[in-house]
Amino acid sequence: MTLREKIKNLPTKPGVYYFVDDKKTVLYVGKAKNLKNRLRQYFLKELGRGPAIEQMVQLATDIKWVETESEIEAVLLEAEQIKKLKPKYNIRQKDDKSFLVIKITRKISNSKFLISNQIPNSKSQNFKSSVIPAEAGIQKIDQIDSRLRGNDNQLFPCVELVRFRNVDLNDKSAEYFGPYPSGDLLKKSLRFLRKVFPFRDCSKTKFNTYARKGRPCTYGDIRVCTGPCAGWVDDKIYERNIKYLKDFLRGKKTRVIKSLEKEMLSLSKKKHYEEAANVRNQYRALQHLNDVAIGVRDDLFDSKALMFKRIECYDISNILDKYAVGSMVVFTDGKPDKDEYRKFRIKGQGDGETKGWSDLSRLEQVITRRFQNDWPRPDLVIIDGGNSQLEVAKRVLKKYNLNIPLISISKGPRRDKNDFHFVDSATARYFSNNQTLKNIAIAARDESHRFAISYYRALHRKGIFV
């Protein structure tokens, strides 16, 4: 049975798919909200998926898949499988330093004191804070010791999103899940899961601030946090939510549902009906997870964006050879990623001046300095300029043995055009029938120009008043 024939029998449910070669090696892992529709995209040649993916399809001899009951599960499973299998053709996942991971701190329960559930507002005239020693008994104190509050927040693990490049793999104080290629889908997934298993994502400072106030922040008010800072929940119940969340992130949804069902029946038998109703709501939410859409796309744009996860664009700003600067802007998933922007002051003779240099020389310096740094590798490099600028960038990439798609966009003599210039025909074909991708490239070029100009003006103003 050919791959095309096999696709006809695929389900139309969400899931994760695998392209496999004749040696049973997994070449590529992807997710889909509709497995059949998504995999059909790979065999529509007019879509021009790019040379790497086209080569992968040629090498593949089999397609395997795993159905999931929801888009959320597909997103989480894809990340887990890519991390485990490290497929050769998952190009944009090769450099995962900029990807998001879920960080869940570990519970530290060896605190000497625990803050009591009721913490009055310190501004109240009748304010007296009470502290419960971990061993037994109640001890009255006149003032709240900030050290005790610091211990208290450690009883309640914090869930937060961090960049993979900022993760210390030797850190034993937290558990990490990921990295996840799609930050937007991850945030939407976690937003839903937080409604099912509420958790805190606040800093130690924020936790202690609201503990002194004796009330939770807005997240507590809208019930996506259980309000441990205000004593709304004890550490055991909170830990239960975190355990279920971790199990779900590990792909053990069935286990979580069974545990919730068992817990619900047990509470009902004990006539704890209100608690049983809360567990029932969690149980039902997971049962109907397939009704939750988070935006997994199986269309052409999603396919085209696959190769160009991270786009970098460069521009030079210079007037009368003084304060010459360069800019690098980054678009991630088609949107500006301002945390990744970089600016360069051109290095030359005479206190930052580069008199006599051409903009081509300045561009070469900027791109060279960029690739001397250990920053995430781009999937596409864009230059503001024409063929001359394109050749400069091509020379630098060749110097560092980098095989990265490269284009330039020029505005024309009247600055009213968007002419695309390509190094190779494969990249040209990739752009030819995709206006959305062209629009993203033009937006990146315009943003790099704006960023360079703003940096130049800042230096110029500073120079005037020095």
Domains in the chain: boundaries: 3-92, 100-180+182-242, 308-464
Rounded to whole angstroms, the Cα distance separating 77 from 189 reads 12
Report helix, strand or coil for 259.
Answer: helix
Least Cα distance to 404 among 354, 456, 457, 367 occurs for 367
Residue 427's pLDDT is: 85
Residue 346's pLDDT is: 85
3-92 and 308-464: same fold?
A: no
What CATH number labels 308-464?
A: 3.30.420.340
Residue 297's pLDDT is: 58
Residue 49's pLDDT is: 58
Average pLDDT per block of 10 residues along the chain, 466 residues long: 89 94 94 91 64 83 93 89 88 65 82 39 37 33 37 80 82 85 83 93 92 92 92 90 92 90 93 91 83 59 58 86 85 88 78 60 94 91 94 94 92 82 86 84 93 83 57
Strands 113-115 and 139-140: unpaired
Would you say 264 and 179 are in contact if contact means Cβ atoms under 8 Å apart?
no
Q: How distant is the alpha carbon of residue 9 from its chain centre? A: 33
DSSP string of 287-343, one letter each residue: HTGGG-------SHHHHHHTT-SEEEEEEEEEETTEEEEEEEEEEETTEE-GGG-EE
Q: Which CATH superfamily is domain 3-92 in?
A: GIY-YIG endonuclease (3.40.1440.10)
Rounded to whole angstroms, the Cα distance separating 42 from 44 reads 6
Q: Reply yes or no: is the peptide bond before residue 179 cis, omega within 30 of 0.
A: yes
Residue 448's pLDDT is: 93
Which element (helix H / strand E) includes 378?
Answer: none
Tokens of 79: 């990340």
Residue 391's pLDDT is: 95
Which element (helix H / strand E) includes 127?
Answer: none
